Amino acid sequence: MKAKSIILALAFLTITVVSVHAQGFQLGAKGGVNLSQIQGRAFDQAFNYGYSLGGYAEINVTKHLGFQPELLWNEYQARTADNANQIYTNLSNGTNIRLNYLSIPLLLSFKPTKIISIQAGPQFGVLIKSSQTFVDNTKSAFKTGDFSMLAGVQLNLGWFKLGGRYVYGLTNSDKVGNLDSWKSQGYQVYVGVRII
């Protein structure tokens, strides 16, 4: 089902690019900082830094309305709480967790003015890599698919973009059992540059 979602998202992106090419189309690269946490009793509730790198397409349907699909490599970091082993017997206290996702945000973009875009939409993610082992290994402890909602503001400054957004995870990432609910949330700050 997760693979189907990604295929549908890519198909949607391709069709949209072809159909509205005449309306205005841009491609660019972007990078930034993720400040995120995993909510749940097994995790420290502090926000941790990670990074985000990738590309975006800007598809303008009208002067004020468009789409901004993206393809990103997102790193999220977390730390297990002091009481982690009381919830999961194999989960060590104070373990640093690093999760890398291939993320596909599909954002609706509303431009009240030329330099400001208000954006919102879903983000689909696939867990690609993890750095630490616990409960056999991190990849088996976390579900491989993630679904989030994003909302934020972007400044369009000629060939450059500067933005910030809030990310709220809707998926319970806990694959170990039903003892806790692991949901992510965080903030992203980024800089982008138009290539074409």
Question: What digits encode the pLDDT tens for the residues 119-172?
Answer: 999 999 999 987 655 554 444 678 889 999 999 999 999 999 999 999 999 999
pLDDT of residue 41: 78
Give the pLDDT of residue 87.
57
Distance of alpha carbon 109 from alpha carbon 61, whole angstroms: 10
Residue keyed to tokens 């420290």: 44
> Whole-angstrom Cα distance, residue 171 to residue 13?
23
Residues 6+ positions from 74 with CB-CB distance below 8 Å: 34, 50, 51, 52, 100, 101, 102, 103, 125
- Whose tokens are 């540059």? That residue is 193
Q: What's the rounded Cα separation, in Å, for the pair 119 and 163?
A: 10
- 95: domain CATH number is 2.40.160.20
Of 150, 14, 169, whose CA–CA distance to 76 is shortest? Answer: 169
Residue 87 domain boundaries = 2-194
Which residue from 176, 118, 183 is spatially nearest to 146, judged by alpha carbons?
183
Number of domains in the chain: 1
Per the DSSP assignment, residues forming a β-bridge with 60 are: 66
Beta pairing partners, 27: 57
Q: What is the DSSP letter of 80?
A: B
Cα 44 to the center of its chain, rounded Å: 20
In this prediction, what percent of the chain has a pLDDT beyond 90? 57
The model's pTM = 0.80
Q: What is the pLDDT of residue 89?
A: 57
- Selected residue with higher pLDDT from 52 and 85: 52
